Amino acid sequence: MILKFEKYQGAGNDFVIIDNREGKFQPSIDTVEMLCDRNFGVGADGLMLLEKDEKNDFYMRYFNADGKESTMCGNGGRCISVFAKSLGLGSPEKVVFNSIDGLHEAFFIEEDGEIFVKLKMIDVKEIEEHDDYYFINTGSPHYVKFVEDLEEMDVFEEGQAVRNDPKFAPGGTNVNFVEIFDDEIFVRTYERGVEDETLACGTGSTAAAIATALFLESDQNNWDIEVMGGNLHVSFDRRDDGTFENVWLTGPAEKVFEGTINVD
């Protein structure tokens, strides 16, 4: 079949997105892998399907580049929201969509011709503090470790070792390394399913901001985050029980190109 797609990126995290409201496309692992392959396909960190939802503007399905359907992707959620806006879904100001981890709102902010998306993430309740790392579920599982000289670190080698550590089996984990600079943090992420470092990770940046507040024992609830592909922002409110609510991820999202491709 001839498949129409659009390609989006948010801070360098890139995605193939398909309007699947009619339900005609049922992707196999091989098809997703091909579409995401940077040599033989379109090339992306993941594939998203925009599907019908009875109560909300749409449903978001996310597949990693390895072809497997996966958990929530924060930058993907921001990108698919802009795609939905282009289809006339929701209102000019926002969309509301459902996904594997629950309901999300996305607000559109335009500055100097660039679109930023402020995405509401799930409440963060699953937080583990270990001797030298945090383990936090922000819609996807994330290992967060604080380091120095992050720019020089071999994130692929270090991240791959943690991702495949038996203690995170069978699903594995995303791996984030964080360096703190005053009120800003620098984050690099090895993503499971991509099996490589990505230029940005939304759920990872969210986990890193929350872990930083805990690590510093800080009341700061707004964090500017530098990632390899640009800049993101995370804000949240902390409950008395140590969990987090009103968690928001903000950053740019844009269409890169569109096209068609022949798939089996």
- HSE-CB at 121 with a 13 A cutoff on CA atoms is 32
98 is in an annotated binding site: no
User: Which of the residues 79, 84, 122, 201 is marked catalytic?
Assistant: 201
- HSE-CB at 131 with a 13 A cutoff on CA atoms is 0
Maximum Cα–Cα distance for the chain, whole Å? 54
231 is in an annotated binding site: no
64 is in an annotated binding site: yes
Q: Of how many residues is the chain composed?
A: 264
Could you tell me the two tokens for 48? 């998203």
6 is in an annotated binding site: no
230 is in an annotated binding site: no
User: Which of the residues 35, 47, 73, 210 is marked catalytic?
Assistant: 73
13 is in an annotated binding site: yes
Distance separating alpha carbons of residues 99 and 104, to the nearest angstrom: 8
Distance separating alpha carbons of residues 6 and 260, to the nearest angstrom: 9
Distance separating alpha carbons of residues 43 and 58, to the nearest angstrom: 24
Helices (H) and strands (E) in the chain, counts: 4, 17
192 is in an annotated binding site: yes
238 is in an annotated binding site: no
Beta bridge partners of 116: 109, 252
Q: What is the helix (H) or strand (E) element at residue 31, kind and residue range?
A: helix 29-36
Strand ranges (DSSP E) for 34-183? 46-51, 58-64, 94-99, 102-111, 114-120, 127-129, 134-137, 141-146, 174-181
Question: Catalytic: 73?
Answer: yes
Could you tell me the two tokens for 162? 């943690």
202 is in an annotated binding site: yes
Burial class (CB within 10 angstroms; exposed 0-12, middle 13-18, buried 19+) of 200? buried
Q: How many CB atoms lie within 10 A of CB 109?
A: 12
- Residues annotated in the binding site, as ranges? 13, 64, 74-75, 174, 191-192, 202-203
Active-site annotation, residues: 73, 201
- Residues annotated in the binding site for substrate, as ranges? 13, 64, 74-75, 174, 191-192, 202-203
